[in-house]
Structure 1
Amino acid sequence: MHRNLSIYLDLVRFLAALMVFVVHANYERFTGGIPVLWHFKDLGNDAVMVFFVLSGFVIAYVADQKERTIEEYAASRFARLYSVVVPALILTMLLDAAGSVLEPSLYSGRWYEYDDPLVRILASLSFTNELWFSYTRPFSNGPFWSLGYEAWYYVLFAAAHFLRGHTRTVAVATLCLIIGPKILLLLPVWLLGVWAYRYSARVPLGAGQGGLLFVGSIAGYLAFRLNGGPDELLEFSKELFGTEFLYDKLSWSRKFLSSYVIGACVAANFVGAVALARRLPRLPVWMEQPIRYCAGFTFALYLMHYPLLQFFAALTVAVGLEPYRLAVVGLGPLAVVWLLGGSIERQKGPLKALFLSWFDREQQPAMRVR
């Protein structure tokens, strides 16, 4: 991957995670709204769709250029997920236990579900929390829902990419039956990322075409958002499916129509970015280093910020710091992610080596039998 493109994707990844944090930090029970930044309070779903397209793009790239076997691919995906998922779940349980004692009223809403804790933990660790029409929230950690989508997209891609013939057809069909319609509704958004990578690799665009796509995609998204496109499509979906079904059954997928539009804009932007990255001078180190550094906290920020916001809001009330809650609740989670996130995300490499060694041990007896 061209260095300029890699830096740009890292920047997009970090900004998307930061946007999700800003959206949630603006909740009334947390900060009461952040000056100026409250204007972005409705962009949470948009940011997650950026993640989906980016995920599809990167997965298509690594499968094409780096992870040529299903064992390498699986080890990388397991390591990427569990290096952050396990610490994030542990942190969520600890923070929720402490926060619910400090200020029980902040844990009495639908945003905190604690019954059947073992079921919630197992569903989260196996990424079965969103299958079909289920929704199993890991305590206060609402953003975890998207991993119940992405993990299955990884599996679907592996089946389609690494398997052949009837085996591939049966595997993909079986997986679709297991996953159910809710997750599949947003699969086209993720696949737009796969398309963006493969199209860019197959059809090299000129700088003019790339620039037009890059700028035009941003302009198209802004026009769609500023003219109320997401709201209109949601209203159309309500008329088509009914409000109750849309919210109770489709849940996080209810905005699927606007997600398709946003996903198309992001995919077009990435295609344009590929063309521009090849033709622009290399970005200076003083720009690259801070972007790489911030991007290293992206997954931890996304998966840890919500229970941290919940806890710091409870702490603020319990110790009488309400006059300073904007600073405490707004900056406290960022400080914790900065302290813990880097070391947590660095476990990805050792975990991948561990998974690869385990795959090797599993293959050796089979080879001896043959």
Structure 2
Amino acid sequence: MGRPDHIASLDGLRGLAAAMVVMAHVGLVFPSLATLHLPIMGSEAVGLFFALSGFLMAYLYGAQPVTRGAVLDFLVSRFARIYPVYLAAVVLVMILSMTPGLDYIQPIHSTMDFVRHVVLLGSSGVFWSVPPEIQFYIFFPVLWLCLGQPRRFPGLIAILMALVAVDGLLGLPGPGILLLSKLPYFVFGTVAGRLHVVWRPASHSLLVGLLALLLPLLFMSYRYVLPAIDPDFWGMHSAFASAVIVALVAWQSPLSARIFASSPLRFLGAISFSLYLFHVPAMFLARHTLDGLLPEPVVIPLTFLIAVLAAWFLHVTIEMPARQWLVGLWRKSRLRSGLIQAPAGKGEVPASSRS
């Protein structure tokens, strides 16, 4: 089976989520804005990222045969996609944290704290969300089995359903860096991705387009528009809503695609992971350099632009080359041949270049 069609609107949704995270941290970089009590939607953005990850893994891999080669190629591809640029961001933050007199705003406090981040157990700044993402990739082959052969593994599916239910009843317990505390976001996204492949919904409905545009607005604002609602974001309610939004945007109704598949949002989507990792250091350094040289109302949008340009530069110089190099090295390695023990070209699945 060939690679599924690329869903351009999901690039735009990822770009929108990345922009939401950046906006959520503007008040951190510019403390004067904190007094305005602007809505902070970083949690909503990360919830969408998690659901997107589950959706895309199911969409790209769910229909593929589950073989040793397929799983190993998947794990290497995902690790190569995430870890090198993540490590570069951790090193940069450590350097900024150690620079005398700089007072970096989201520091890594010690050598041991640095080691925790390197081994994916740290939680400084935005880094907290990377460990559950990696843990989901390790967990995904179990879901992959269930997606590909549901009649063969009814007991496993029942256990997973019970795990998600108990997780929800317990209030998604545990530190945020553990998959258990965010599992429903990934699982609901995975189910939505698999349904998209099986169902292949029609995309020309005006109603679908309206819902795909309006639901994200409600999702991002409901805690502020309806303050009587429990303000805690993380839970089964937002996990389900995240997956529904991703599914509706993936239908690519012409109305919603005009926004989500637009060039600016797709560009932000392409660089979203680098933007997510590096926007705080980039904006902090820009403010530190420009402070006093220009009025703050000018500096604020300028720092956003600098963060985007820095993310694009790191995307093309570190993120993509490192991934391509590591995946290429893996595919040529004797270790892969020995582990897979299959003729070349078998047991492989296509790697997603934009997920």
Same fold (TM over 0.5): yes
Task: Count matched residues.
Answer: 312
Partner of 1:247: none
Partner of 1:192: 188
Partner of 2:229: 232
Two-structure CA RMSD over aligned residues (Å): 4.0
Contact 2:15 2:266 in 1 (8 A): no
State how far apart, in whole Å, the 1-side matches of 2:331 and 2:340 are. 16
Partner of 1:157: 140
Work out the percentage of aligned pairs sharing the same amino acid: 24
**Matched ranges for 1:76-91 at <5 A:** 76-91=77-92
Q: Say if 2:234 is the partner of 1:256.
A: yes
Q: TM-score, normalised by structure 2?
A: 0.72
Q: Say if 2:21 is the partner of 1:20.
A: yes
Partner of 1:349: 324
State how far apart, in whole Å, the 2-side matches of 1:313 and 1:65 are. 47
State how far apart, in whole Å, the 2-side matches of 1:41 and 1:269 are. 20
- Pick one of 128, 134, 153 that aligns with 1:145: 128
Distance 1:289 1:205, change over 3 A: closer
Distance 1:67 1:47, change over 3 A: farther
Structure 1 unpaired stretches of 5+: 130-135, 174-178, 235-253
Three-state SS of the structure 1 residue aligned to 2:33 is: coil
Structure 2 unpaired stretches of 5+: 147-151, 163-171, 343-355
State how far apart, in whole Å, the 1-side matches of 2:51 and 2:185 are. 6
State how far apart, in whole Å, the 1-side matches of 2:221 and 2:109 are. 41
> How big is the shift at 1:63?
1.8
Distance 1:82 1:66, change over 3 A: farther
Partner of 1:340: 314
Distance 1:67 1:73, change over 3 A: farther
Three-state SS of the structure 2 residue aligned to 1:353 is: helix
Partner of 1:128: 121
Q: TM-score, normalised by structure 1?
A: 0.69
**Matched ranges for 1:1-370 at <5 A:** 1-3=4-6, 6-27=7-28, 29-30=29-30, 32-33=32-33, 41-65=39-63, 69-98=70-99, 101-103=100-102, 106-107=103-104, 111-115=106-110, 117=111, 119-129=112-122, 136-137=123-124, 142-162=125-145, 181-182=174-175, 183=178, 184-206=180-202, 207-208=204-205, 210-211=208-209, 214=212, 217-218=215-216, 221=219, 224-228=222-226, 232-234=229-231, 255-257=233-235, 260-277=236-253, 280=254, 290-316=264-290, 320-321=292-293, 323-324=295-296, 325-326=299-300, 329-347=303-321, 348-358=323-333, 360-361=334-335, 363-364=337-338
Q: Which amino acid aligns with 2:329?
A: L
Distance 1:365 1:93, change over 3 A: closer
Distance 1:316 1:23, change over 3 A: same
State how far apart, in whole Å, the 1-side matches of 2:37 and 2:8 are. 27
